[in-house]
Amino acid sequence: MQPQQNNRQERSVWKDKLSWLWSEYSVIIAFLIIFIAASFMSPRFLDINNQMNILMQVSIIGIIALGMTVVMLSGGIDLSVGSVLALVGVIAVIALNATGSIIAAVLTAFIVGSFAGLLNGLMVAKGRIASFIATLGMMAAARSIALYIANGGSISGEVSGFSAIANSEFLMIDYPIIIFIIMTVFVYLLMHKTRFGRYVYAIGSNEKAAMLSGIRVDRVKIGVYSLTGLLVSVAATIETSRLNSISSSSSGASYELDAIAAVIIGGTRMTGGRGKIIGTFFGVLILGILNNMMNLMNVSPHLQGFVKGLIIIVAVVFQKRE
C-alpha cells in the first residue's frame, strides 16, 4: 500500500507542477509551438526581413493592446480605441500643417488621446455608465468628429520630417518596434512594480472590497482610461507618420477587436483582476505570426477574421477551465 500511495502522491505533485506551468506560461508555450510550426510550414517565415515585418505590423496594435490590458485588468473594456486613433491622427495632422512643428503635432496627439481617455474614465467612474456603453458611445462620437473634420476623406501631412518617426531605423530596427518595446516595459513596470498597478488588479478582482480597503476606485479608473487614451495617441502618431496621412473613415477600423483578441490570447480575463502585460506582448506576437502565415499561404483575407474569432473563443474556453 505504501509504494502505491507514494506513486499517487508523486503523480499528484507532477500534475500540480504541470498545471502551474501551463497556467503561468501557457501563452509563451503557445507562442513557441506556433513559431516552430510556422517555420516548418514556410521557408520564408524565418527570413530576418519577414520577422522584422511581423514586428512592424504588430507594433501599432501592440501599443493599443497594452492599454486595453490595463482596462480589462480593472474589469472594464474600451471599444473606442480605433475611432479615437483616427480622431487623434486627423487633429494631429491639422496641427502639424498649421504650425509646421512636429513637436506641436505630437503634443497635440497626446493631449487629444489623453482627453478622450479621460472622458471615458469620467463616464465610467463618475457617471456610473457601464464601460461597454460609455466607450461604445465614444467610438461613434470620435469617428463622427474625425469624419466631419476631414470631410470624410484623408488628410496628408505637409512637413516631410514627420514621416521619419515611423520610417527611420536604429541599429537596423524600425522605430515603431523600438517604441512598442519601450511602451511594453513602461506598462509592465507600471502594473507590476507600482501602487497604481496593485490597485488596478485589486479593483478588477473585487471592486467593492477594494473600495472598502480605502482605494480611490474612481481615481484609479480615470487613470486607467486616460493611460489607454495616451497609448492610443502614441499608436496614432506612428500610424499617421508611417504614411504621412490619416484616413478619417478607415484608419483604426476594427483595431479594438484585434487589441481585445491579443489581450485575451495573452491570458487576461474578461472579468478583470488576472493577467500579465508580458502575456499581452506574446499574444500580439501570436496574432502577428498567424496573420503572416495566412498571407504567406495565400489564405483569403476574408477568412482571416474567422481565424481570429476562432482563436478568441478557444482562448476563453481555456480560461474557463483554469
Question: Is 180 contained in some domain?
Answer: yes
- The residue with cell 496614432 is 236
pLDDT of residue 161: 85
In a domain, 251, yes or no: yes
**Distance from C-alpha of 163 to C-alpha of 235, rounded to nearest angstrom:** 14
Cell of residue 88, nine digits: 487623434
Please tell me the distance from the alpha carbon of residue 91 to that of residue 310, in angstroms, as a whole number. 36
Contact 71, 272 (CB under 8 A): no
Is residue 105 domain-resident? yes
pLDDT of residue 204: 92
Residue 78 within a domain: yes
Assigned domain for 14 exists: no
The rounded average pLDDT for each run of 10 residues, N- to C-terminus, in the chain (322 residues) is 57 60 73 88 86 92 96 94 95 93 94 96 94 95 94 86 87 91 96 94 92 92 96 95 89 89 88 88 91 83 77 68 53
Do 181 and 281 meet the contact criterion of CB atoms below 8 Å apart?
no
Classify residue 15: in a domain, yes or no.
no
38 lies in a domain? yes
Q: What CATH number does residue 124 fall under?
A: 1.10.3470
Predicted pLDDT of residue 80: 94
Instruction: Identify the pLDDT of residue 33.
Output: 87
In a domain, residue 121? The reply is: yes
pTM listed for this prediction: 0.90
Q: In terms of residue numbers, what domain contains 42?
A: 30-321
- The structural domain count of the chain equals 1
Residues with Cβ within 8 Å of 35's Cβ and at least 6 positions away in sequence, in order, are 289
